[in-house]
Structure 1
């Protein structure tokens, strides 16, 4: 009797493992494109910046992306090579 129960459990585990192979992640779990179409390089005073997200380059996008959320809720893509943006990134990484 025990042997049959163990065999049934093993078969169920094997079937469930086979069923998960090759499934794609939901689109919300991975974004496969760049978030920034264009970038903003003019200085934005830090008091107007609520949050900054730094997204490194990778398979989803060849560019490093810096996305600032402003205090009014807008999101702005910043030019990562602008001197003032480099200072912001350095300050974030130093924290």
Structure 2
């Protein structure tokens, strides 16, 4: 190999191809949903409507005690009641 070829190869290998942290694959955040009633332990709730990255409504709750986030099943009656209660509190 000639010196020019070796230098060209080294330059090509030295050029960064992009940071891996910038390459985010869009997908649903909730894989498993909690089914047990945990309404009184919920501190905050984030509701993510269906979008181009995920066709499902996602409800992500943060627990009061330890800050763990848990996905909730939006079809369960206790989840619907909890959301209505939190919305009513926010209107006050």
Which runs of structure 2 are paired with 1:1-95 in the superposition (5 Å)? 32-46=26-40, 48-71=41-64, 72-94=66-88, 95=91
Q: CA deviation at 1:89?
A: 2.1
Structure 1 runs, 4 residues or longer, greater than 4 Å off: none
**Using the alignment, how far apart are the partners of 2:25 and 2:57 within structure 1?**
15
Deviation, structure 1 residue 31: 7.2
TM-score calculated relative to the size of structure 2: 0.63
1:86, distance to aligned residue in structure 2 (A): 0.8
Coordinate RMSD, CA, aligned: 2.4
Alignment TM-score, normalising by the size of structure 1 = 0.61
